[in-house]
Amino acid sequence: MEINEILEYLPHRYPFLLVDRVLEMEVGSRVLALKNVTMNEPFFPGHFPHRPVMPGVLILEALAQAAALLSFKSAGQKRDDNSVVYFAGIDKARFKRPVVPGDQLLLECSITRSMRNIYKYQAIARVGDELAAEAELMCAIKSLS
């Protein structure tokens, strides 16, 4: 899935779109997505000027966006002005390695449970073979109308 299709599913736009490409997707099961981390990211000048590091909360957000793509695909729907995927929970978040400019962040989310429009994921962010972060995420597709 390339960027134009990602934009059909996610409401996020620059500077908050944190998924550049989907490398693999097994609908109803798992997704592997990619975020190219560049020095041009708007958060690096302030986090931290002397040693730029991607904020952990944004790594979790990138994982949630990858999970949202899988949620919409698994539910057989695209985003529209009447629906959005929200975080419903974050558990057991751990950060193992800093993510810095030049890294390619691999975002892997596997569905561990789903009920109606609520999905629970095991989420892992890696740089190459190194674990950068992991968490259990819960996302819900909500109708706004």
User: Range of 133's domain?
Assistant: 3-143
Give 72-82 pLDDT, tens digit per residue.
898 888 888 78
The burial of 4, by beta-carbon neighbours within 10 Å (0-12 exposed, 13-18 middle, 19 or more buried), is given as exposed
How many structural domains are present in the chain? Answer: 1
- Decide if pLDDT at 90 tops 80: yes
- Gap between the Cα atoms of 84 and 79, Å rounded: 6
This prediction has a pTM of 0.95
Grade residue 84 by pLDDT with cuts at 50, 70 and 90: confident
Mean of the pLDDT values across residues 69-91?
A: 87
Per-residue pLDDT, 128:
97
- Gap between the Cα atoms of 47 and 42, Å rounded: 9
Within 10 angstroms of residue 53's Cβ, the number of other Cβ atoms is: 13
Per-residue pLDDT, 143:
81
Per-residue pLDDT, 145:
72
Per-residue pLDDT, 77:
83
Q: How far is the CA of 63 from the CAs of 45, 46, 87, in angstroms?
A: 23, 22, 11
First and final C-alpha spacing in the chain = 29
CATH of the domain at 64: 3.10.129.10
Give the residue numbers annotated as catalytic, written as ranges. Answer: 47
The burial of 118, by beta-carbon neighbours within 10 Å (0-12 exposed, 13-18 middle, 19 or more buried), is given as middle
- Decide if pLDDT at 129 tops 90: yes
